[in-house]
Each structure stands twice: as C-alpha cells, then as structure tokens.
Copies of this chain bind each other. A is one copy, B any other.
C-alpha cells in the first residue's frame, strides 16, 4: 500500500509548466493551455487530487481522439439581466467555466445575482475551483454540474442514469477563511474511487454497491457496481435536480445522453454546468456580512465536542490546510501518477515533469 508521506513533492510552477506543455503539444493555443494548466494545478494545490493533473492523460487522450475542440468559440448564446447561457463549443471545461464564472461575476455587479448556465462543455475539474471565483469579488459563488460519467442509479434501481452531480458553495468571511463546501451527491466522488484504485487501496463499505445489492470495496471492480447517494433517496433526489439545473435547463446532456468520458476518447459529451454569483452588497453592507460570518465561524469552531473529537471543522478547512502545505512544500505525487505522466511526456515528445 502506498505511503503518502513518501510521495515526491512537485512545485506548482513545475506542474503548471508541464501541463501547459502537454496541452500545447496537442494544438491547444498557448494562452488557453496556460489557463487550463493554472486551474488544474490549483486543483492539486487545493488537495483535489482526483481532479488535477491526475486527469491529464485522459484529457490529452480525448483531445487526440477528436472528442474535444482545441479551438472553441466559447460564447454567450442567450442573455437577460439576471442570466446568461454560454455555449462552450466543445472546448475544455476549464476554459468554458472560467468564461462562465467571469460572466456571472460581471452580471452580478449590476443585477445583484446572476445565474450563468453552460452547455457543450467538458469535464472542468473540481467544483470548488469555480465556486471560489465570485468570493474574490466579494460575492458568494454556487456551482453545480452534470458529472462526466453515470455511476448512480435512481433509488431502488440498477440503471446508472445519474452522475455524482456535484454542488459547491463558497462564501467569503472577514478575518476567517472562506467557507467552501464542495460535495458530490454520492457518498464518494468517482475521482476518489479512481485514486484508491491507483494507490492500490480498498474502499470503505458504503461507497459502492454491486448489482446484487452487496457492498463493493475493491476499486478495481468499480465498473461492476455503482456509487451510493448520500441519505438514500434524498441524495438521489439531489443528484437528479442538480442534473436538471445544470443539464436539462441548459440543453446539455442528462440521463441516458451522458457519455462516460472515462471509457470514450472520441465522443463529444455536451457537459452542462451552472455558476451563480451573488453580490453580497446588494443585500447588506459588506462589513456587516463579513463580521457576521466571522462570528458564526468562531461559534461553530469553539462549540462543544462529542467525546473523542479533537476539532470541529468548517467546510473548506481541509483545503485551506492542504493549500498552505502544498504551496510551501510542493504537491505530493504518487509514484504511479509520476510514471503515467512520464509516459505521457514520451508520447507527446515533451520534457518530463521536472523533479
């Protein structure tokens, strides 16, 4: 079993340069390659290990297979004061969602709240990357997406018509770090299953079930079963409505139309997302809001604990800790991932990841 503490640690700069070079090698324009590399590296720095450079070989494979457009015309297709619909032209999801988030922030300045949907996009990495953009402008960010592979059946069912459809909410505070919730509507995200498989680790019971209804704990057998929703039928309902809001509403894929991008390198996915920016000052003076957030955060953190619990955590706290550590000491990289990236470098005839 892998020992995370023995992982080599790679600096953000090294990782960004490698990722950008990889995308340039498959004809992604330099500026776009830099944007994607910056967001993917940020995912790793934040500790979203299943959604950062881990996905690079797959992204490159799909570009080479013609599934993703490397020169998309990302554009606003429809617009009203409180909303926009972005057509991603099958570009990399990172580019589409950065565009959409910036649009939402811009519109929320004059509309107070703006909801921007996106269609014809692709996998964009961790939800929190985009939810965290409005807070840089003193706004609350909400993000939701149709996941890029169906792993969840309706409650009581066997046909995997739903994905792990995630939701992220980021709320800025004053002196305290922002609250950032980023959760799949399944007990575990599929990226975590893939990470377990790559590390040669088993999954806890409750993450997945096989088609006979038994617990499935070997991540290498993941294709034989399905993920379980949080709270039983509630998590199923949540995954469904998030899919309606991020998928159906935008004219993006949902249900049977979702392409499993893990096992397909040639088909367009028409991935749907939504980002909402809420301008806090439309509701109340910013200082008052931030003071209230700090008070609440401290009330929660300092509240009484169950026996054996060392600390009450706020959503996003793990990310803040990982970010500080990884920015200082580099991003931990499992051997198997480094080997995969070295192979990718060979295939693309680019320099290996420096280390």
- A residues near B (Cβ < 8 Å) are 78-83, 85, 107-108, 110-115, 117, 140, 153-159, 161, 169, 171, 179, 181, 183, 187, 212-213, 230-231, 233-235, 237-238, 240-241, 244-245, 248-251, 254-256, 276, 278-280, 282-284, 288-289, 292-293, 295-296, 299-300, 303-307, 309, 311-315
Chain B residues lying within 8 Å of A78, measured Cβ to Cβ, are 282-283
Distance, CA A244 to CA B292, complexed state (A): 10
Contact A114 B113 (CB under 8 A): yes
Chain B residues lying within 8 Å of A169, measured Cβ to Cβ, are 241, 244-245
Given contacts A181-B238, A237-B315, A296-B255, contact A82 B156 (CB under 8 A): no
Contact A312 B231 (CB under 8 A): no
Number of copies: 2
Contacting residue for A154 out of B230, B248, B276, B312, CB 8 A: B312
Contact B313 A155 (CB under 8 A): yes
Distance, CA A156 to CA B123, complexed state (A): 33
Given contacts A80-B110, A157-B312, contact A181 B230 (CB under 8 A): no
Contact B158 A305 (CB under 8 A): yes
Chain B residues lying within 8 Å of A154, measured Cβ to Cβ, are 300, 303, 312-313
Chain B residues lying within 8 Å of A279, measured Cβ to Cβ, are 80, 83
Given contacts A83-B113, A187-B231, contact A240 B155 (CB under 8 A): no
Chain B residues lying within 8 Å of A171, measured Cβ to Cβ, are 241, 244, 248
Distance, CA A72 to CA B81, complexed state (A): 31
Query: A78-B282, A169-B244 are known contacts; what are 18 more A-B pairs with Cβ within 8 Å?
Result: A80-B113, A82-B107, A82-B108, A82-B113, A82-B115, A83-B112, A112-B115, A117-B283, A156-B306, A157-B303, A157-B309, A171-B241, A171-B244, A171-B248, A187-B231, A241-B315, A249-B280, A255-B295
